[in-house]
Structure formats: structure tokens, C-alpha cells
Amino acid sequence: MSKYIGMLKKSDLEGGVWVFVTESGERFHLNGLDEKLLKEGQKLELEGDFDSNSMGIGMMGPTLAVARAKAL
């Protein structure tokens, strides 16, 4: 399991897609993030693994299956 620190961004693509952008600029779709944390600009520390069997309509990056999330 990997740990990432970054920020949530909302893209208007296809009616709205949430994207997690790490401090190093990587972009991920998130699977399993608590909806209470979905806020534009929310800084998060996430732990999870990539879900290679998941696809999204946003095409903003690979999907990270979130195991733990902490607002910073």
C-alpha cells in the first residue's frame, strides 16, 4: 500500500469528475473516498493501491482504491 499527499480538484468534464493531484503532479481517480471529504481544494493524505481493473469516464489518470484517508 502506498501513501500520497495532495489536493482534490473538480473537473467539469462529463458533468463533473473529482481528481486527486499529488504534490509531485500525479493525477488519480479515487475509488472509495468518503463523500464528506469531496471539497474543492481539500488537502488529503491517502493510502491505497492502484485498481487496474477499474475504468472511469474522466480519463484523468489511473484509479486509486482508497484504504485510508485523512484531511490535512
Interval 14-67: pLDDT, tens: 667 889 999 999 999 899 999 999 999 999 999 999 876 665 555 567 889 999
CA angle 65/67/68 to nearest 5° reads 130
Whether 62 and 49 have beta carbons less than 8 Å apart is answered as: no
- Domain containing 9: what range? 2-71
Whether 5 and 44 have beta carbons less than 8 Å apart is answered as: yes
- Enter the pTM of the model: 0.83
- How many structural domains comprise the chain? 1
**CATH at residue 38:** 2.40.50.500
pLDDT at residue 67, as a whole number: 97
Whether 13 and 58 have beta carbons less than 8 Å apart is answered as: yes
Residue 58 to residue 14: CA distance in whole angstroms: 7
